[in-house]
Structure 1
Amino acid sequence: MARPVLPLYALQVFEVAARTLSFTRAAEELFITQSAVSKQISQLETQLGYPLFHRQVRKLTLSAQGEVLLPYVTRALATLEKGLEATGRSVKNRLRLKAPSCASRWLLGEVREFAREHPEIEVEVTSAHAHDINFAREPFDLAVVFVPLPSANLSLTPLFIEQLTPVLTPALSEQVGVPLTTPSALTHYPLLHPSRDKRDWTQWLEAVGASEIGVASGQIFETLDQAMSAALQGFGVSIADVTLLKDELAHGAVLAPFDQLLLTGCGYALARPPADKASAAAMLMHDWLLARHRVEPEAMKSGLVSLAATVAG
C-alpha cells in the first residue's frame, strides 16, 4: 500500500497556529500573511476531512481532532529538525580528498594521523589517474596534485618534491645474485616502467651518466603506484619516489641500492578552493598538512642529490 503524501508545510503551519491559538501570531512567526495561514489550515482540513479549529469572534480554539493531532505533529517536527541538524553536522565534518593513485599511499598515512588528532572529522580519499582538480566541477574539498615546482598557481602549496631512485626487494637481489653496486649491473634485472614512455628510467640513467643502458625491455605500468607495488612484490626493479615509499624503505621491505636521487623539478602540491568557499574542516586539514610538509622555495630544484644526505637531513 502506497504511503500518503504528507502536507508537511501545512502541518508546520498548523503546529504554530495551534501553539499560539492565533492565525495573526502564526503569520508573524512564519513570516507570511494571515490569509496564507488561513488558506493552509483550510486546505489541510479539507484533505483530512475534519476541522482542526473552532473559529469564533476574537477567539480560536482547537477542535477535538486538533487536540489529538497536535502532540503527534509537534513530536514529528522535532524529530525532523533533529535529523536535519544531524545531517548538517555530518556534512560539515566530512572531508572529501582527491589524489593521484601514486600519492594516495602517502596521503592515507597522513589521514590516519589527522584522524587521531581530529576524530570528529570523517575523511574520504578518492584515488584517480588524473593529476589535476577542478573544484567547480568535482565534489572535493581538497586535492593533492602533481605539478612542476614552483607553481605559478597561488592556490597550490607544495607538499613534497619528487625524488626518484631505483628500488627492489632484498629477495630479488638475493635471487639474481648480482650486487647493484653500479648502474651497469641493472642489465641483469627486469626493469619496471611506471609509464609507457619510460621517461623516469631514461631521466635517472641519463642523470647518473648511464644512458647506454637500454630501457627498451621491461614491464610497463600505467602509474607509478602500480610499478612500485610490483617492485614490492619482487617482480623487478622500479623507479620510485622515496617519499611515497618512506615506510617500506625504513622497514627494509625494499632497498634503494644507489645513492643518487633525481629531483625532477616536479612535485606534489595541496590544492584548495577559494577561501570563501572552503569549509572550516577543509581549512583545518589544509593548514595541518602544510604545517607538517610545506616545501620551502629554496628546496624546489632539479638534478641529482645524495640519498644518504637526504635521509640524514
Structure 2
Amino acid sequence: MCGWDVPKGSAVRAWLPDARGHRRLFSALSIDALGTGLFLPFSILYFTATTDLTLGRVGLALSIAALVRIPATPGAGMFCDRFGARSTVVVSNLTQAVGFFNYLLVDSFGHLLIAAVVVQLGNSAFWVAYPALVHDVAEGNRQESWFALITSLRHAGLGVGALGASLAVAVGGTNGYTAIVAINALSFAAAAILTRLDASAGTQATSANATPEHDAPQNTPPRAAGRAPSGTGPSSASSYSTSASPCSHSPSPSAFPSSWSIRCACRRGYPAPSSRSTPYSARWAPRPSARPSRGAAEAAA
C-alpha cells in the first residue's frame, strides 16, 4: 500500500515512513477497516431484517456484549504482553471472523449474545495490541507518521465500506445484508493471514538491509592442539591435554595469563591442570624477596 511512485525530494515522500517489507500489514489493516465499514452502519438492522428478534432484544444482546468487553480488556493486555502484539492481532482477527460467521446463523437471543460476545472479545484484543504492533513495526522511528498513515488508510476503508454496504442493501435487500456480514467475516480471516505473513516479509527485509559483521582478524596465530595457553613465566608454558581442562572457553593467550584458566578450574571444583616441569604447589609457593633485609643492609654498611 506504500509503493506509490513519488518523485524524490518531494514533501509527500519525506512524510511517508519507510514501509518496505510491511505492505502486507498495511493491506491487512485496510481490509479489516473495509469489512468493518461494511457492517458497522447496519449492525442492528441486519438482525431485525434477517431474524425474528425484536429491536429491543437485539439492542439488549449487543449492549451486554459491550459490557463484557470492559473486564476482558485487562486480560487482552496480559495476553499481548505474553505472546506479543502481532500474535494478539492475528488471534483477534480470527476471533472476530468466527463471531461474524456465527452472525450468519443467528436464530435466537442466546445465539446472538454468544456471537456478539465473541466479536467484542476479538475487537478488544485488537485495540489493545494495535498500538504496540505499530510501535514494533516502526522500530521506534517516526511513529507519528506510521500512525497517521495507518489511521488514514483505516478511515478510507471505513468510508468505502459504508458506501459499499449502502449499495448492497439498496440493490440486494435481505441478500445484501447477508453478503455484508459474509464479506466482513472473510475480511477478518484475510487480515489475519496477511498479518502473519507480514512477519516473515519484515524479517527478510531486515536481514537484507542489515550491515554484515566484520570478519574476525586473521593475524591471530593458531594455537596448537593439546598446548596450554602461554603464561608470563617459564614454568607456566608447559603443555597439557585440552580434554583434561574443564574450561571450554579459555581466554585468549595474547591477553590473559594461564593462571586465569587454573583459577577458573578451581572455581568449578575441578583439579588444576598438572605441569610437567614444576609441581602445582611449588608453582604457587611464595618467591623469595630480591630486596635485602634491613639488618643485612646495615651490616653490609
- Interval of TM-score (by shorter of Structure 1 and Structure 2): under 0.3
Bigger share in helix: 2
**Largest Rg, 1 or 2:** 2
User: What is the TM-score when the length of structure 1 is the normalising length?
Assistant: 0.24
Per chain length, whose mean CA-contact separation is higher, i.e. which structure has more relative contact order (CA < 8 Å, sep 6+)? 2
More strand by share: 1
